[in-house]
Amino acid sequence: MPNREPLQTNQEALESSREFAENFAKIAARSQELVTEFLASQQPTHIDPDPATVARTFMELMNKMMADPARIIEAQAALWKNYMDLWQNAARRAGGEEIAPMVVPDAADKRFKSEEWSQNQIFDYIKQSYLLTANWLQDTVAEVEGLDKQTRKKADFYTKLYTDAMSPSNFFWSNPDVLKTTMESKGKNLVQGLENMLDDMKRTKGTISPKMTDDAAFEIGRNIAVTPGKVIFQNDLMQLIQYEPTTKEVYKRPLLITPPWINKFYILDLKSENSFIKWCVDQGYTVFIISWVNPDERHVDKTFESYMSEGILAALDAIEQSIGETEVTAIGYCIGGTLMAATLAYLAAIGEDRIKAVTFFAAQLDFEEAGDLLVFTDEDHIQLVESKMKGGYLEGKEMANTFNLLRSNDLIWSFVVNNYLLGKTPFPFDLLYWNSDATNMPHKMHSFYLRNMYQKNLLRQAGSLTLGGQPIDLSKVTTPVFIQASKEDHIAPFKSVFKNLKLFGGPAELMLAGSGHIAGVINHPDAKKYQHWTNTKKKEYASAEDWFADATQHPGSWWPYWDKWLSKKSGPKVPARDPAKGKLKPIEDAPGSYVKVKAKPYADMTE
């Protein structure tokens, strides 16, 4: 009987080639559609200014570098030596020798996790060549002398953005996972990737902004932000939510939480198993939280002071009206913590002592070492931001883009690879849904915040800011303070938050959590993740490093430790309070309607 296997193999190869050809024909058609969509969305009469003064920064950098040509030659020689050593190592490895890599990715770098990046000699060479070049470029820029502090910070930041963008993991021909998927799917991944890109461009009117998660998988009030409660008060700027008790008795002093208005409050209530709000309710606290409005044209006159008077102060009044308590404890998260500190100083100035204990989550009050965000707060950039607030508010996508740039590998390029090169649908992830749920910001408030906090750093200076007609001074605040910082926080760095210890006139305790700006705060004890550091020594420390050297490390969540601190300052136990039976008639169920308002869709942003 004749052997038909070669014929079958040829037929399979022919069919495979035909499928590849069909898919690449689809790619060509979709590519044309992408180009047409992009060109149709552009406005040639409008030329956006350099969004981050990149050109000016690198012009100044090059001028300083050219002043010392010997150093340039020395740096070039070092780079070429690294290349030669890498080439020799590759040749020796090809000959069968075991050769240790010259450079390895950071342990947290997810771009090169695939085994192919190490086991395949070609991709290992590409990876090491890239890492050597990226590290050399960043080190060379960092060593340039004569740059002022702000220019140096911008040069370092933009250089990292560039090196991240040029990673071989971001390109079809140099990513082994993409090549493997393309061969296995016969190009279907690229067809689907172009479909994903086309959908994104239609959604964003010509902007390539990959989706981070499946938005349809989540609904606020259905499967996120589901802790039971009632909206008991609202005004133009916020809704105040009171949560239903789960214990028969509660602490007498209620807990008021002031979240940031840059994002929505439900980061503290994503789901029951990691909800900080539910956990606090279960510990016996009467929890109130401010849910900020998503501003539009109606809020153009709202100021930083408005957020104090119509936010925190209005919430204090509403709590008193509803349950009769004049004394509370409070939490301020991120920019909500900045507002809380300013409000404490205002209350001290007018002689009121309504807040008896305050906790700050990842909040900055001294902005001298405020991290990468300082790149976006010089005068040029603030003027650019103000020019974009033509409707009286900054569109939520602008701040979202800024925060994504701070972690471009995780929040931009990983989704470019996943959605466009691998052709996958983003995984449903509640945290990324929250991260994509952008909020707008009123012009006057946001400009005040950027100029007076980040740029001029006035909050730390006694009497330099005036709120409600009162010059404020943080040193006049004698309220006990608990300060939470996170070890890997890139938005509110530990060094920056540490400075809060020395700003108040009363007792202050610092606690350092593992992880970053979000996971360092949202770390339920049941998860048994990360760690935290405490330092109760009665001494002053000159720096965050000195404090950390004396600190004690503990496994797991810091929430129980904080609970011991707050419970002692929350008064005796009283019968639990039902928000449906307070003196203020409930308006609607939690999480309320304000949090469900989306930032203006891209379709309206081009009008």
Contacts from 20-24 at CB under 8 Å and sequence distance 24+? 20/186, 20/187, 23/186, 23/187, 23/188, 23/190, 23/191, 24/187, 24/190
- Do 361 and 446 have their domain in common? yes
CA distance to 350, 437, 448, 495, per residue, from 363 (Å): 24, 21, 17, 12
Give 7's pLDDT tier (boundaries 50, 70, 90): very low
Alpha carbon of residue 229 to chain centroid:
27
pLDDT at residue 209 above 90? no
CA distance to 65, 73, 110, per residue, from 78 (Å): 16, 9, 28
DSSP letter assigned to residue 174: G
User: With 0-12 CB in 10 A as exposed, 13-18 as middle and 19+ as buried, what is 459?
Assistant: buried
* Helical axes 5-41 vs 188-203, angle rounded to 10°: 10
pLDDT at residue 75 above 60? yes
- Do 178 and 255 have their domain in common? no
Looking at the 3D structure of the chain, how many domains does it have? 2
- Do 388 and 457 have their domain in common? yes
DSSP3 helix / strand / coil % (the chain, rounded to 5)? 50, 10, 40
Distance CA 500, CA 364 (A): 7
Q: Mean pLDDT across the stretch 582-593?
A: 97
Q: CATH number of the domain that 475 lies in?
A: 3.40.50.1820
Query: Is 278 among the domain residues?
Result: yes
- Do 151 and 255 have their domain in common? no
Query: Is 118 among the domain residues?
Result: yes
- Do 163 and 239 have their domain in common? no
Task: Decide: 261 and 294 in contact? Cβ < 8 Å.
Answer: no
Q: Model pTM?
A: 0.89
Higher pLDDT, 30 or 251: 251
- Do 153 and 265 have their domain in common? no
Distance CA 148, CA 144 (A): 11
Q: Dihedrals φ, ψ of 331, to 5°? A: -130, 140
According to the model, what pLDDT value does residue 69 have? 83
Query: Is 31 among the domain residues?
Result: no
Order of strands, sheet of 238-243, starting from the edge strand that comes earlier in the sequence? 552-555, 531-534, 508-513, 481-486, 355-361, 328-333, 255-258, 287-292, 238-243, 229-234, 588-589
- Do 450 and 337 have their domain in common? yes
* 30, amino acid identity: R
- Do 101 and 241 have their domain in common? no
Task: Please report the sign of the dihedral spanned by the C-alpha atoms of residue 559, residue 561, residue 564, residue 567.
Answer: negative
- pLDDT tens across 460-490, in order? 999 999 999 999 999 999 999 999 999 999 9
Which residue segment(s) compose the domain that 321 sits in? 229-395+438-605
Query: Is 6 among the domain residues?
Result: no
Of 154, 186, 218, the residue at which a domain comes to its end is: 186
Highest-confidence range of 181-195, 240-254, 408-422, by mean pLDDT?
240-254
CA distance to 247, 269, 286, 592, 594, per residue, from 234 (Å): 26, 20, 18, 10, 9
According to the model, what pLDDT value does residue 206 have? 63
Strands 531-534 and 441-442: unpaired
- pLDDT tens across 385-417, in order? 888 887 888 888 888 888 888 888 998 999 999
- Size of the chain in residues: 607
Q: Mean pLDDT across the stretch 501-517?
A: 96
Report percent pLDDT > 90 for the chain.
69
Query: Is 292 among the domain residues?
Result: yes
Cis peptide upstream of residue 591 (ω within 30 degrees of 0): yes
Distance CA 167, CA 137 (A): 13
According to the model, what pLDDT value does residue 47 have? 38
Tokens for 218, please give them: 């989540």
In this predicted structure, which of 29-33, 78-82, 170-174 has the lowest mean pLDDT? 29-33
Of 155, 186, 217, the residue at which a domain comes to its end is: 186
Of 159, 186, 213, the residue at which a domain comes to its end is: 186
- Do 182 and 305 have their domain in common? no
- Do 565 and 445 have their domain in common? yes
User: With 0-12 CB in 10 A as exposed, 13-18 as middle and 19+ as buried, what is 548?
Assistant: middle
According to the model, what pLDDT value does residue 184 have? 92
pLDDT at residue 127 above 70? yes
Report percent pLDDT > 70 for the chain.
89
Supply the DSSP string of 42-106, one letter for each residue: --TT-----TT-HHHHHHHHHHHHHT-HHHHHHHHHHHHHHHHHHHHHHHHHHTT-----S----
Query: Is 33 among the domain residues?
Result: no
- Do 329 and 459 have their domain in common? yes
Query: Is 316 among the domain residues?
Result: yes
Task: Decide: 211 and 204 in contact? Cβ < 8 Å.
Answer: no
- Residues labelled catalytic: 334
- Do 334 and 278 have their domain in common? yes
Query: Is 223 among the domain residues?
Result: no
Tokens for 570, please give them: 């929350």
User: With 0-12 CB in 10 A as exposed, 13-18 as middle and 19+ as buried, what is 184?
Assistant: exposed
Average pLDDT across the chain, whole number = 89
